[in-house]
Structure 1
């Protein structure tokens, strides 16, 4: 199974833009932080822009958040970069002649919908501001440890 890093990278981009708002905000600089490539950063920024979370100007490296970090939830970011994503997927190829195979899809869809709703409720409760605060906290802890 291949995992998507889109959400993680999108949060990284938004946190980077907020923390380094007076620095180099080029896709190249952000890509170096993510250890990825500028093309990926530009694609994710385009999705964040389409979702109304990010404002950019063509030809300049001056992206800005469109809302305060406290007003951007992890769910907002998730929906921006994974618009059709669901966490769990049902195998639709089972034997309909079997008691289990003939009923498992509907049974699991109900359960998986509950899991999806619970996950989205949790994502909605986490703000970009809280994630940025945690980044700063961890950085200060590292700096104290080095002293």
Structure 2
């Protein structure tokens, strides 16, 4: 089973829009950075627009953040693209007559829920601006090594 990259790709799109805000930002240009298709980028941008995170004008390559990057949390992005999708999936086809198979779902389910809440709390405390600043620091470090 393939793991979804919608969340990370959406953060990528938002950071790209902010960092390159002075350029024409076609879906092809953004897709090149993500190494995906422009169709995927357009779909994600449509979702982000619907969630009020970006503003676009039909027929132009000028997407903008709908609010300041420090006001957009990773939780905002996660909820926009993943809704309330499970972070972890339990196998429901286990043998109820087995000690492990009969109890694993309840036990793991509780731990998975704790982990999900911890992740969502963390997402709520990290802004897009935090991500952008970290990207720019990483770029400076790369350049200093060259």
TM-score band (shorter)? over 0.9
Q: Unaligned 5+ residue runs, structure 1?
A: none
Q: Distance in 2 between the 1:91 and 1:143 partners?
A: 46
Q: Distance in 2 between the 1:60 and 1:86 partners?
A: 35
Q: Distance in 2 between the 1:143 and 1:116 partners?
A: 36
Q: Distance in 1 between the 2:135 and 2:74 partners?
A: 15
Q: Give 1:51's aligned residue.
A: 51
Q: Give 1:3's aligned residue.
A: 3
Please give the root-mean-square deviation of Cα atoms over the aligned residues, in Å.
Answer: 1.4
TM-score, structure 1 length as denominator?
0.92
1:32-111 matched pairs, under 5 angstroms: 32-111=32-111
Q: Give 1:27's aligned residue.
A: 27
Q: Deviations over 1:60-87 (max 9, x none)?
A: 1111111111111111111111113222
Moved over 4 A (4+): none
Q: Distance in 1 between the 2:100 and 2:31 partners?
A: 47
Q: Deviations over 1:85-132 (max 9, x none)?
A: 222111111122233322222222111111110111111111110110
- Give the total of aligned pairs: 146
TM-score, structure 2 length as denominator?
0.92
